Structure 1
Amino acid sequence: MATKNKELEIFTFDQIKDEFIGEIGTERRVQYEQELQLEVMGEMIRKVRLERNLTQEELGRLIGVQRAQISKLENNTTNVTMETILKVFGALKAKVNFNVEIMNSKIQIA
């Protein structure tokens, strides 16, 4: 019995996202990227909070919200305002930087 040697085709992650989610700039791809960024931010909040040895309740008290709101932020289950994000990272003594990309131009706000 003879076997054929098939080459394994390799795809980049961007190629897979283009194929299954949509190309960069499409509404579905933009929504995916935004949700991913919020998920990453939630993980960052959780990681820094734990490094600072704070409970969700303690962090909530520092910024004037309930523990449930911190849980929602960490698990990306709520819409969040920039004010809340800045309060959270301020309470965690973490520096926040934003990058805004507009029409192929990159603007940094530090």
Structure 2
Amino acid sequence: MAQMNLTPLSEVVDDVWGKKGSPERDAMEARLKEDLQAYYIGEAIKSERLRQNLTQEELGAKVGVKKSQISKLESGKCVITLPTMSKIFKALGFGSASLDLGTDLKVALW
């Protein structure tokens, strides 16, 4: 029977993205972090929209964008800007939001 040579995943990642701490690896990890944040925000929008029994088209009309934009935001396929996030969450009934910067420092977003 033939012997299999297995390569550890960490070596494959280093080959594809560069060694840990390299500019290429840092850039890729930053993109992944942005993508993950966009996904979580999209899931929050979708969850609240569904809880309120709104269609993407109805939410888009409240915000002033097309259904396709809501779809892209919910799927995490585009990065949401703060003004757009404000419009969407206000349309969903969230009157205010703040950014917690730690150590008792919060910034009102809207």
Task: Using structure 1 for the length normalisation, give the TM-score.
Answer: 0.65
Over the matched positions of the two proteins, sequence identity in percent amounts to 34
Higher RCO (Cα < 8 Å, 6 or more apart)? 2
Map of 2:76 onto structure 1: 76
Map of 2:38 onto structure 1: 38
Map of 1:11 onto structure 2: none
* Structure 2, unpaired ranges of 5+: 1-9
Residues 100 and 28 of structure 1: is their aligned pair in 2 closer, same or farther, counting only changes over 3 Å? farther
User: Residue deviations 1:62-87, cap 9 Å, x none?
Assistant: 01111111111101122432111110
Instruction: In structure 2, give the amino acid aligned to 1:63.
Output: V
Provide the aligned length of Structure 1 versus Structure 2. Answer: 89
> RMSD value over aligned CA atoms?
3.0
Q: Kindly indicate which of the two structures has a greater share of residues assigned to helix.
A: 2
Question: After the TM superposition, which residues 1-110 of structure 1 pair with which residues of structure 2 at under 5 Å, given as runs?
Answer: 22=20, 26-94=26-94, 95-99=96-100, 108-110=106-108
Instruction: In structure 2, give the amino acid aligned to 1:64.
Output: G
Instruction: Report the Cα distance in structure 2 between the residues aligned to 1:28 and 1:90, rounded to whole angstroms.
Output: 33
Task: Using structure 2 for the length normalisation, give the TM-score.
Answer: 0.65
